[in-house]
C-alpha cells in the first residue's frame, strides 16, 4: 500500500505532493545520522567505454551516487564559479561537487531543516561549502546571483515545477547554466516540457539516462536490501524498498517498462 504511494505521488495535486514529500524527507534526515549516509539518489553507471571517474578511497563507497552528480556537474562550467544546488538532501553531492569540480563557492539548499543541519554536520570540513534551508519554488536569493545551478533527483517533489524553473532563471547570472536530472512518469512529460519553456532559458543538452540509472539500481540492489533490513522498521520496509528503487519495486519496474524515464537537461540563461 505505502509502496504504491511513492510512485503515485509523482502525479498528486501540488499541495499534497509538496506536504507529503516534506514530511517524508524531514523524517528521513533523522535516520542513519551516524552511518555517514549522505546521498539519496538512484545512481548512475556510465555505459561501457566511458572513462572511469577517479575517486579517493573514502568516496569509493558512494561511487554510483557520485557518478550521477559528476554527470550533472560536467554539463556546465564550474571551476572558480559560484554554484547553487537546489534539493541538496544530506549534502554528499554538494560536497563532491565542491571537492572535485572546484567552484569558488558552493551553496546547497533544501527545504528540510533537519537535512540542512545534518549536511552542516557531515560536511563541516569542506571549505567553500555552505547549506541553507529554503524552498525551490521561492529561492531565498537576489536576482543574478549564481553562475550555475544544479538539481539532482529532487524536482519530482515540487508542487509547481514551472515556479521552480522561473526561480532558477531569476537567480542565475546572464550566461549562467542550469543542469537538471530527474525522474518522471511518462504521462507527465508534456507538463515538464512546458515548465522549461521560458524565453530566457535556452536548451543546450537533452537526453534520457534511464539505461545508466537502471544499471546503477542493479549494481546497488544487494547493498540497499541489506541496509533496509538493518536500519528500517519492518512495517515500513516495503515502502522504503520502493523509495530506494530496489529490483522489482514499482519505480524499478516502471523504468524497465518505459513508464518512467530518467531525464537530463541543461539550459543556459540568455539576455533577451
Ligand atoms: C531524492 S532526494 C535527493 C537529494 C540529493 N539531491 C541527492 O541526490 O542525494 C530529494 C531532496 O529534495 C528535497 N526537496 C524536495 N522538495 C523541495 C523543495 N520544494 N525545495 C527544496 N528542496 C526540496 C528533499 O528534502 C530531498 O532532500
CATH of the domain at 63: 3.40.50.150
Sign of CA dihedral 269, 43, 31, 38: negative
267's enclosing H/E stretch is strand 260-269
Rounded to two decimals, the pTM is 0.92
Q: How far is the CA of 85 from the centre of ligand 1 (A)?
A: 10
pLDDT tens for each residue of 208-267 = 999 999 999 999 999 989 988 887 888 888 888 888 899 999 899 999 999 999 999 999
* Mean model confidence pLDDT for the chain: 90
Contacts 24+ apart (CB under 8 A), 122-126: 122/36, 122/38, 122/90, 122/91, 122/92, 122/95, 123/38, 123/91, 123/92, 123/94, 123/95, 126/95, 126/98, 126/99
Checking if the pLDDT of 133 tops 60, the result is: yes
What pLDDT does 183 receive?
95
Q: How far is the CA of 272 from the centre of ligand 1 (A)?
A: 31
What pLDDT does 158 receive?
93
For residues 106 and 24, what is the distance between their CA atoms, to the nearest angstrom?
Answer: 26
Q: How far is the CA of 247 from the centre of ligand 1 (A)?
A: 23
For residues 111 and 98, what is the distance between their CA atoms, to the nearest angstrom?
Answer: 21
Pocket mutation for ligand 1, best pick of 106, 120, 138, 157 (most atoms within 8 Å of C-beta): 157
The model's confidence at residue 29, banded by pLDDT at 50, 70 and 90, is: low
The model's confidence at residue 37, banded by pLDDT at 50, 70 and 90, is: confident
Domain residue limits at 254: 2-269
User: What Rg, from alpha-carbon coordinates, does the chain have?
Assistant: 17
Q: Comparing 114 with 28, which gets the higher pLDDT? A: 114
What pLDDT does 235 receive?
83
For residues 27 and 30, what is the distance between their CA atoms, to the nearest angstrom?
Answer: 6
| 266 three-state secondary structure | strand
Show the cell assigned to 223. Answer: 547493498
Q: Calculate mean pLDDT across residues 138-151.
A: 98
Q: Calculate mean pLDDT across residues 173-196.
A: 95
Helical ranges in 196-249 per DSSP H: 210-231, 237-244
25 Cβ inside 6 Å of ligand 1: yes
For residues 87 and 156, what is the distance between their CA atoms, to the nearest angstrom?
Answer: 11
**Domain count across the chain:** 1
Amino acid at each position: 500500500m505505502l509502496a504504491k504511494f511513492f510512485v503515485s505521488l509523482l502525479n498528486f495535486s501540488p499541495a499534497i505532493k509538496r506536504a507529503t514529500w516534506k514530511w517524508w524527507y524531514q523524517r528521513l534526515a533523522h535516520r542513519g545520522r551516524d552511518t555517514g549516509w549522505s546521498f539519496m539518489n538512484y545512481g548512475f553507471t556510465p555505459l561501457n567505454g566511458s572513462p572511469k571517474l577517479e575517486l579517493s578511497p573514502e568516496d569509493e563507497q558512494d561511487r554510483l551516487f557520485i557518478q550521477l552528480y559528476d554527470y550533472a556537474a560536467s554539463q556546465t562550467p564550474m571551476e572558480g564559479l559560484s554554484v547553487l544546488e537546489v534539493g541538496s538532501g544530506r549534502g554528499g553531492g554538494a560536497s563532491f561537487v565542491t571537492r572535485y569540480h572546484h567552484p569558488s563557492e558552493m551553496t546547497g539548499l533544501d527545504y528540510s531543516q533537519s537535512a540542512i543541519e545534518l549536511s552542516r554536520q557531515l560536511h563541516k570540513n569542506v571549505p567553500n561549502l555552505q547549506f541553507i534551508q529554503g524552498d525551490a519554488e521561492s529561492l531565498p536569493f537576489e536576482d543574478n546571483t549564481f553562475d550555475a545551478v544544479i538539481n539532482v533527483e529532487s524536482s519530482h517533489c515540487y508542487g509547481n515545477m514551472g515556479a521552480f524553473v522561473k526561480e532558477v532563471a531569476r537567480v542565475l547570472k546572464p550566461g549562467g547554466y542550469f543542469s537538471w536530472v530527474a525522474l518522471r512518469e511518462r504521462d507527465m512529460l508534456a507538463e515538464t516540457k512546458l515548465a522549461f519553456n521560458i524565453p530566457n532559458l535556452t536548451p543546450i543538452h537533452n537526453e534520457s539516462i534511464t539505461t545508466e540509472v537502471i544499471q546503477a539500481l542493479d549494481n546497488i540492489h544487494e547493498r540497499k536490501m541489506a541496509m533496509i533490513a538493518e536500519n528500517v522498521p519492518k512495517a515500513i520496509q516495503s515502502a522504503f524498498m520502493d523509495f530506494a528503487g530496489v529490483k522489482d519495486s514499482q519505480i524499478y519496474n516502471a523504468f524497465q517498462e518505459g513508464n518512467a524515464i530518467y531525464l537530463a537537461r541543461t539550459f543556459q540563461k540568455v539576455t533577451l
